[in-house]
Structure 1
Amino acid sequence: MWNFNKQNRTMKRKLEYRWMLWCGIWAVVTFLAACDHLAKPSSSGRPYEVLVVVGDSLWQCPAGRALFDVLDTDIPGLPQPERSFRISQTDPQRFNQVLNIFRNIIKVDIAPNQYTQTKMKFTRDVYARPQVVLTIQSPNEKDFAAFVQKNAQSIIDFLVKMEMNRQINELEKKHSEVVSYLADSIFSCQFWAPVEIKSYKKGKDFFWASSNTASGLVNICMYSYPYEGPRTFNKQYVLAKRDSVMKANIPGTEPRMYMATDTLCTSVKPIAVKGEYAMETRGLWKMEHDAMGGPFVSHSRVDTLNNRVVVAEGFVYAPEKMKRGLIRRLEAALYTLCLPGEQARELKASIPEVSVVAGKEQE
């Protein structure tokens, strides 16, 4: 009996030691992870700024010009030309601790003896947080230029969606309580919009909320109408619904003035939001019989629980300002819309598929 108890106590001590060892390992791993997080500085640069790390001479060659032309592409749906990104360039020899904390970095790696094909890959938070580093590897300049030109839209979409996801994270922490209340009370939806949007007007199955500022006016509106099958999602139908809703709810300073769509400068295309079909409408609005106007972007989505189309739209009035940052911030907000039955955890602007942006994410 004595030997049995002694063996039992010995086994118990071994189990306690093993448990203490695992707790110690877990504590060390957690501590190191926390130190790694704290050790990395906050990324620098404004939204939609990109630093290209490429040799000075290569930057001036056709390969470098091909990448520059992609990043320098104008944003669609704005009343004046505005390029997609603010572009900076540095030679790899000057890429130091001051520059490597840029929020968006593109590294150009052309090595004939190292690569047999051109591909892209991306990594997150390499030198700072939050940060994305997109690396384009190629065996030669000719293949590099051809690859960049072929995948131009994928490169633009990738960087834009990364920025929008950062803005969505910011909206989650701080957003307009007015818009959230209106979206919930009228449509039973969750919706996060920029915090400065506080003034509002309600209508039937409609609300319009605005920052009501003297300059850089940003606006969010939501409305709904019955879903009538596939014909609900064509350009003519979508724009006709928009015009009827805006005419009834957003009048001008005089009775003959009302908001309308500049149909010649507006485009629609199907997109995926939370894995479901949606229609993106992007273009220009105008105030009939007035000089006001500006860009807008909207998402039209099917609320299957209530058999209706819910439209969330952001539009800008800022004649004295560049509008890239304003409209893209509102566009990011559109991705936060959660229809009845959807989960908030699914928020995020969809990133292009890995099969398009070649190469898997490197952790």
Structure 2
Amino acid sequence: MKKHLFYLSMALITALFSACGNGKKGVFTPTSSGRAYEILVVIDQELWERPAGRALYDVLDSDVPGLPQSERSFRIMYTSPANYDSTLKLIRNIIIVEVNKDLYTQPKFKYAKNVYAAPQSILTIQAPDEASFEKFVEENRQVIVDFFTRAEMNRQIAVLENKHSDYVSTKVKSMFDCDVWVPGELTATKQGENFFWAGTNAATGDQNFVIYSYPYTDKDTFTKEYFVHKRDSVMKINIPGAREGMYMETDSLMTDVRPINVQDEYALEARGLWRVKGDFMGGPYVSHVRLDKVNQRIIVSEIFVYSPDKMKRNLVRQMEASLYTLKLPGSKQEGNEMPLAVTKKDSTKTEK
């Protein structure tokens, strides 16, 4: 009997440590520290002050697109390798800079998950010299920003998996045959023709989710002009203002679109500003335009925020994670975690 208990105990311990090795949080893995969108850069102080270090700083300090005011992508901290101690190794987002001509022949990324704590993402940038490091960082600025943005969104998706609005999920399933997770705080709802809205109705920091559909009949559907026209027509009917003649509309000059991958399928991302015609209300929005191949229709999912007296980066990104959980009819995608933006060509991956 004791022998069986011994083997059972060993099996449990092995399983716990295996969970850590697979990039998942085990019982013995500390919880990471730091706030969302906060990054620690481990770099020699002199290098940090020279052009190569400034290039990395400028990437991390770049503005978040689609917001009405300037907000930088990340809160930046830095430390020298000598001071990179056990406490700092618990921070959730870390960039390690390694410039060494004896070790590297070309610049590349190396990334790892949950090495010292969980959830945690560590991106190491290696280069033989400062000039190649600076060029590599400038050429891959969007890759670096997307890597940590997606890591944070994946953490939000993990939260949503266990804590989302069952009512909204059920309603979206019944109306559109789609699966989606949105925060449980979105308790106010409205239903229209092929349209559904959920929001917090908060006086400030108001977060909203919208989904609507229409037939796929036009080859120009995935263009900025078509998107803005369709969005304005849908919102005019379904999101009216406080008085007659007021309704939500799109600021087309402040809207940018780009192709992205969602649930392993093509999508058009639109990001910009909305406003209420005839009123002073407005704020940022993000939309995903996707093709439902099963039903030959377009599904548009969108989040928008109204927060005139607060910074909006975290409010938008928190809600934006919900867009990546949307599964269309016939989807065979397992899980909702977003792939990180680092490409195989320029990187190696390790998990400890």
> Does 2:274 match 1:285?
yes
Unaligned runs of at least 5 residues, structure 2? none
The more displaced of 148-157 and 225-234 is 225-234
Cα root mean square deviation, aligned: 2.0
Q: What residue in structure 1 maps to residue 314 of structure 2?
A: 325
Please state if 1:359 is matched with 2:344.
no
* Aligned counterpart in structure 1 of residue 155 of structure 2, from 158, 166, 179: 166
CA–CA separation in structure 2 for the residues paired with 1:70 and 1:29: 41
| Alignment partner of 1:215 out of 204, 212, 224 | 204
Partners in 2 of 1:181 and 1:27 — Cα distance?
37
TM-score in terms of structure 2 length: 0.93
Alignment check: 8 A CA contact 2:20 2:114 kept: no
Q: Specify the alignment match of 2:35 in structure 1.
A: 46
Aligned 8 A contact 1:119 1:136 in 2: yes
How much has 1:355 moved relative to structure 2?
A: 3.2
Where does 1:240-259 land on structure 2 (aligned, <5 Å)?
A: 240-259=229-248
Alignment of 1:262-301 (within 5 A): 262-301=251-290
SS in structure 2 of the partner of residue 194 of structure 1? coil
Match of 2:134 in 1: 145
Paired position in structure 1 for 2:14 = 29
Counterpart position of 1:14: none
Is the 8 Å Cα contact of residues 109 and 342 (structure 2) preserved in structure 1? Answer: no
Q: 1:80 and 1:28, CA in 2 relative to 1: closer, same or farther beyond 3 A?
A: closer
What SS does the corresponding residue of 2:344 show, helix, strand or coil?
A: coil
Partner residue of 1:120 out of 109, 128, 136? 109
Whether the 8 Å contact between 1:118 and 1:136 is mirrored in structure 2 is yes
Taking the aligned partners of 2:88 and 2:65, their CA distance within structure 1 comes to: 30
Distance 1:319 1:266 in 2: 19
The answer as to whether partners of 1:332 and 1:349 remain within 8 angstroms in 2 is no
Change (3 A) 1:33 1:214: same
Tell me the distance in 1 between the aligned counterparts of 2:282 and 2:20: 50
- When residues 24 and 89 of structure 1 are mapped into structure 2, their CA distance, relative to the original with a 3 A threshold, is closer
With over 3 angstroms needed to count, the CA separation of the structure-2 counterparts of 1:158 and 1:28, relative to structure 1, is closer
Specify the code of the residue in structure 1 equivalent to 2:42.
V
C-alpha distance in structure 2 between counterparts of 1:27 and 1:150, whole Å:
46
User: Residues 14-48 of structure 1, C-alpha deviation per residue, up to 9 Å, x if partnerless?
Assistant: xxxxx999978755533544698222210011111
Give the number of equivalent residue pairs: 344
Paired position in structure 2 for 1:306 = 295
Residues 197 and 218, structure 1, Cα contact 8 Å, conserved in 2 = yes
What is the identity, as a one-letter code, of the residue corresponding to 1:281?
A: A
Q: Give 2:281's aligned amino acid.
A: M
Determine the structure 1 residue equivalent to 2:186: 197
The list of structure 1 runs, each at least 4 consecutive aligned residues, that deviate by more than 6 angstroms after superposition, is 19-25
Q: Secondary structure at the match of 2:34?
A: coil
Contact conserved, 1:117 with 1:139, CA < 8 A, in 2? yes
Secondary structure class of the residue paired with 2:173: helix
Q: 1:270 to 1:99 in 2, by over 3 A?
A: same
Relative to structure 1, is the Cα distance of residues 74 and 169 closer, same or farther in structure 2, using a 3 angstrom cutoff?
same
Query: Which ranges in structure 1 are unaligned for 5 or more consecutive residues?
Result: 1-18
